[in-house]
Structure 1
Amino acid sequence: MSLFDGAAEFNIALFNTRYDNLQVSIFDGTLGFNVGNAASAVTQGIELDGRWQVTETLMLAGALALLDFEFEDYENGQCLAGQAPTAADGINCDYSGMTNQYVADWAGNLLAVWRVPISDTLGMAISLDAIFTDDYNPAQNLDPAVDQEGYVKWNGRIGIGAIDETWDVALVGKNLTDETVITYAS
């Protein structure tokens, strides 16, 4: 939806997706990964995002997502090292009712951008954004030893360029607070 005579917009997305025969990657414990079948799963949630041109020079934006994922039927999951199998086949672990790797309940971002003209043809922009996520697990077997706690990463940008945006030069800083996160574990 458009608000304030077009100075702002706000979007909402609701979703519910059901999977049959969902393919998953399963580490074989030695050298590689095999494609497995997690029978059925459901993911659902809500996403909100928007932006607001507060003044001619200041724009604010943000997004927020709530996600729920559940394996409805997944009886051939990879067990943890030393874990007794819980699946009926006596070999694998039953992940039915559990979540998937990388699923954080909450995630989002906030952004502030300040743009000002320097001359008739040049402009300057300074922005700061925060990207945040709730706790998640980066391992296919959901090993609790590698749980990633929620975090915030801050990024910044200072640039000078053409008003018509045909070129710019910028100094960009990513992860300014040097947040260390686990991106994958096995």
Structure 2
Amino acid sequence: MSTFNGVAYVVENAASAEIYGLEYEGMLMTPYGILLGLNGALTHAEYSEFNRAACTAEDTRPPPCDLTGRRLRLVPDVKATFTAGWEGAPFNWPFLTRIGVTASYTSEVALATDLDPIDVRVAGTTYGVQLGIKSHDDTWHVTLFGDNVTGRQSLAAAQDSPGFRGTHFGGAYLDATYEIELGYRF
């Protein structure tokens, strides 16, 4: 791990870690144009031994700190994505219609190298949508994509600043975003 100690970046490796889990993926496609999908992971990931870790900026003890038995950073316990979609030609329209929704859940995850409890992405679900039309012969399409359509606010990254006790920095994921895709095959 690379950690900024207020003066320079220090690289220190954990002596050992224990990681195990379960990944899953399933998809159902029906003859009626309906698609359902579920995938994700259940993960146990902790430091078996890491007694030379960086300390949080608020920690008054002299470094190093001991993170033995704590979760690895950036590894959620649970991550799951559910997808549902439909493609068809309602009312015998001369084009196909596509509708889709995605829900992605991630449990709480530590973002900072020193596992500072302030620098945590809280558990939550983000939703995406897809609406579009396309020709029966797939020569053209118009699709609207929406990501984080409910505007869920969450941290993308965060760390504390060892040089300034109580100071943290980072960035957030974007609010709802939309894009449109136009395609034509010659």
Alignment TM class, shorter chain as reference: 0.7 to 0.9
- Asked if the contact 2:22/2:43 (under 8 Å) is kept, the reply is yes
Greater relative CO, 1 or 2 (CA 8 Å, sep 6+): 2
**Tell me, what secondary structure is at the counterpart of 1:142?**
coil
Code of the residue aligned with 2:51 in structure 1: it is E
Is 2:158 the counterpart of 1:185? yes
Code of the residue aligned with 2:75 in structure 1: it is V
**Alignment correspondent of 1:14:** none
Q: Which TM-score applies when normalising by structure 2?
A: 0.76
Name which of 54, 57, 69 aligns with 1:81: 57
Large movers: runs of 4+ above 6 Å = 118-121
Deviates more, 1:104-113 or 1:94-103: 94-103
**Alignment correspondent of 1:68:** 44
**Alignment correspondent of 2:146:** 173
Is 2:56 the counterpart of 1:56? no
Code of the residue aligned with 2:24 in structure 1: it is L
Specify every segment of 5 or more residues in structure 1 that has no aligned partner in the other structure, as ranges.
1-23
Fraction of identical pairs, as percent: 27
TM-fit CA distance, 1:144: 1.0
**Alignment correspondent of 1:110:** 82
Q: Which TM-score applies when normalising by structure 1?
A: 0.76
**Alignment correspondent of 2:5:** 28
Number of matched pairs: 158
TM-fit CA distance, 1:122: 3.7
TM-fit CA distance, 1:167: 4.8
**Tell me, what secondary structure is at the counterpart of 2:38?**
strand
**Alignment correspondent of 1:143:** 116
Change (3 A) 1:74 1:164: farther
Specify every segment of 5 or more residues in structure 2 that has no aligned partner in the other structure, as ranges.
160-186
